[in-house]
Amino acid sequence: MSENSQVGVGSPDAQVSSKRGIHGTWPSRWTFVLAATGSAVGLGNIWKFPYIVGENGGGAFVLVYLVCILVVGMPIMVAEIMLGRRGRHSPINTMRYLTKEAGLHGGWNAIGWLGVTAGLMILSYYAVIAGWALHYIGHMASGTFQGVSAEQAGIIFGDLLADTNTLIFWQSVFLLLTMGVVMGGVTKGLGVAVRVLMPLLFVLLLVLLVFGYQQGDFARGFSFLFSFNIEALTWKGVLIALGHAFFTLSLGMGAIMAYGAYMPDHARIGRTVIAVGFLDTLVALVAGLAIFPIVFANPTIAPSAGPGLMFVSLPVAFGNMSGGLLFGSIFFVLVTLAAWSSAISLIEPAVAYLVESKGFNRFTANLLLGFIVWLVGLGSVLSFNVWAEARIAGFNFFEFMDFLTSSVMLPLTGLFIAIFVGWIMKPQAVREEMNDEPSSVFFVWRWVVRYLSPLAVLVVFVMGIYKTFS
Ligand code: TRP
């Protein structure tokens, strides 16, 4: 199927009747699993999850997060794939078609717009953090961390944050890499890359886990992650856990909807989502189990160290194990690749929209969007040095972007998606798309999406926002 085909561009209706979009279809359900896993497993799992666990007190937060994945994340992932497969377009046009199909008010299109905007905003700071990982590849290989103490590792990281030019350089490199792949179309290369790299990443995490077990304070790390301490839990923390469930599964912005648009008609969505959710959760938990034992063995690293946690604790581990410099470079290469396969899904929906509806080609769409994302990203770069003291609603710029997207936009879009699928779309249209699901599975899923997910998101969102600002 030609990517350049102009047939039906800009008119969702012409496409849907044939049940095929202009971008083609994944050859199998497994290709979709790989692409979705590539999108889901990223900085969220290895970098963000451990530090927000640290900032929010550990075990209780982890439990709430797991509940959010099960009750909200996976059911909404099913909904997003289902919507994408029915619309067969970029999220904006998919929502446009589906609202038309249901004879609804165009306001529901906001789901598409909110999502695409959130994706670009996330990418703006995602590229900055991925830039740190890129920078650390060279640091590791050149021996900077040979035998370092936790204190020294902290100083090296602090020096990086103070160095605006280096931050901008690596942020730009990462964005160029991302644009490069998306310009060429996502289907080629990525599936293969993910199939090789994800297992490798997992093996290296296991190596670190073993190091943490032997050299770190494993018992304390383990109990920090898994012991339930209700006092440590706040409404703000619950909101962050909910937001992270969306973030880590790539939900609430149309990435999964866009990938769902390329899914074969007769693939069972439920099983697919279980596979993606399981792999994603496993990587996050193993990353936590690798990082916290090292943190607790080194009193100079605080569990609540924030965004720098992984960049301080892991170099200490690598710098003090035999062959660690090699493993360390490989590890940061893989973190970069995991971030890369996620970043692609952050920009793809906006690119697909510009191509479908605004007459752009992939090249120019990427140039334009990449530039905007880069510009906004400078705000995050500066928030680690020059603007460190500047505050928006109590957050620095990076924290603000993260809070606004993860804790506000993703859950809200998710809420709208649940309401749309559970209450607004015609039930037979939903059942049609879920035809290959046994009726018991369908029944349970639909119930959860109608009642449990929206209610959970609504309560957590309202309470979380209220408590965060009061
Ligand atoms: N899930 C990715 C991670 O954990 C980030 C990501 C990729 C994302 N695509 C997304 C987050 C879409 C939200 C929405 O690193």
pLDDT tens by residue, the chain, 470 residues: 333 333 334 444 444 434 556 666 777 778 788 888 989 999 999 999 999 999 898 999 999 999 999 999 999 999 999 999 898 888 899 998 888 888 887 788 888 898 899 999 999 999 999 999 999 999 999 999 999 998 999 999 999 999 999 999 999 999 999 998 888 776 666 666 777 777 888 888 888 888 888 888 999 999 999 988 888 889 999 999 999 999 999 999 889 998 888 888 777 889 889 999 999 999 999 999 989 998 898 888 888 888 999 999 889 888 887 778 888 888 899 899 899 989 999 999 999 899 988 989 889 999 999 999 999 999 999 999 999 999 998 999 999 999 999 999 999 999 999 999 999 888 888 998 888 888 999 999 999 999 999 999 999 999 889 888 88
Distance 186 CA to ligand 1 centre (A): 16
Which amino acid does the sequence have at 79? A
Q: What is the pLDDT of residue 302?
A: 86
CA distances to 162, 378, 384, 385, 468 from 398, rounded to whole Å, are 15, 10, 8, 11, 17
Question: Could you tell me if the CB of 37 is within 6 A of ligand 1?
Answer: no
- Three-state SS at 57: coil
Instruction: Output the residue whose Cα is nearest ligand 1's atom 14.
Output: 250
- How many other C-beta atoms can be found within 10 angstroms of the C-beta atom of residue 26? 21
Question: Could you tell me if the CB of 15 is within 6 A of ligand 1?
Answer: no
Tokens of 426: 């015609």
Q: Is residue 247 part of a domain?
A: yes
Distance CA 257, CA 76 (A): 10
Q: What is the pLDDT of residue 282?
A: 94
Question: Could you tell me if the CB of 90 is within 6 A of ligand 1?
Answer: no
pTM over 0.85: yes
Question: Could you tell me if the CB of 336 is within 6 A of ligand 1?
Answer: no
Distance CA 257, CA 23 (A): 13
Question: Could you tell me if the CB of 43 is within 6 A of ligand 1?
Answer: yes
Instruction: Output the residue whose Cα is nearest ligand 1's atom 7.
Output: 342
Question: Could you tell me if the CB of 346 is within 6 A of ligand 1?
Answer: yes
Q: Is residue 2 part of a domain?
A: no
- Find out whether 69 and 245 touch, Cβ atoms under 8 Å: yes
Q: Is residue 161 part of a domain?
A: yes
Which residues are CB-neighbours of 173 under 8 A, at least 6 positions away?
A: 131, 134
Q: Is residue 314 part of a domain?
A: yes
Distance 297 CA to ligand 1 centre (A): 31
Q: What is the pLDDT of residue 325?
A: 87
Question: Could you tell me if the CB of 248 is within 6 A of ligand 1?
Answer: yes
Distance 126 CA to ligand 1 centre (A): 9
Assign residue 219 the CATH number of its domain. 1.20.1740
Which amino acid does the sequence have at 442? F
- Find out whether 205 and 286 touch, Cβ atoms under 8 Å: yes
Distance 384 CA to ligand 1 centre (A): 22
Question: Could you tell me if the CB of 49 is within 6 A of ligand 1?
Answer: no
Instruction: Output the residue whose Cα is nearest ligand 1's atom 12.
Output: 250
Instruction: Give, for ligand 1, the residue of 81, 186, 250, 404 to mutate: max count of ligand atoms closer than 8 Å to Cβ.
Output: 250
Instruction: Give, for ligand 1, the residue of 65, 80, 122 to mutate: max count of ligand atoms closer than 8 Å to Cβ.
Output: 122
* Partner residues linked to 395 by β-bridges: 392
Q: What is the pLDDT of residue 15?
A: 42
Q: What is the pLDDT of residue 191?
A: 65
Residues 128, 134, 138, 139: what is their CA dihedral angle, to the nearest 10 degrees? 50
Question: Could you tell me if the CB of 42 is within 6 A of ligand 1?
Answer: yes
Q: Is residue 351 part of a domain?
A: yes
- Find out whether 98 and 86 touch, Cβ atoms under 8 Å: yes
Question: Is the CA virtual torsion 382, 388, 389, 392 positive or negative?
Answer: positive
Quick one: which of 277, 270, 273 has its CA closest to 67?
A: 277
Instruction: Output the residue whose Cα is nearest ligand 1's atom 10.
Output: 250
Question: Could you tell me if the CB of 259 is within 6 A of ligand 1?
Answer: no
Question: Could you tell me if the CB of 122 is within 6 A of ligand 1?
Answer: yes
- Rounded to a whole number of angstroms, the distance between the first and last alpha carbons of the chain is 54
Distance 386 CA to ligand 1 centre (A): 28
Question: Could you tell me if the CB of 345 is within 6 A of ligand 1?
Answer: yes
Tokens of 334: 């893989």
Distance 295 CA to ligand 1 centre (A): 26
> What's the structural domain count of the chain?
1
Tokens of 309: 């946690």
Question: Could you tell me if the CB of 157 is within 6 A of ligand 1?
Answer: no
Q: Is residue 20 part of a domain?
A: no
Distance CA 409, CA 145 (A): 38
Distance 123 CA to ligand 1 centre (A): 9
Q: Which atom of ligand 1 is nearest to the CA of 342?
A: 7
Distance 129 CA to ligand 1 centre (A): 13
Distance 439 CA to ligand 1 centre (A): 31
Q: What is the pLDDT of residue 1?
A: 33
Q: Is residue 6 part of a domain?
A: no
Instruction: Give, for ligand 1, the residue of 37, 39, 181, 347 to mutate: max count of ligand atoms closer than 8 Å to Cβ.
Output: 39
125-136 burial: b if 16+ Cβ within 10 Å, else e: bbbbbbbbbbbb
Q: Is residue 442 part of a domain?
A: yes
Domain region containing 82? 27-469
What is the maximal distance between C-alpha atoms in the chain? 65
Distance CA 404, CA 396 (A): 12
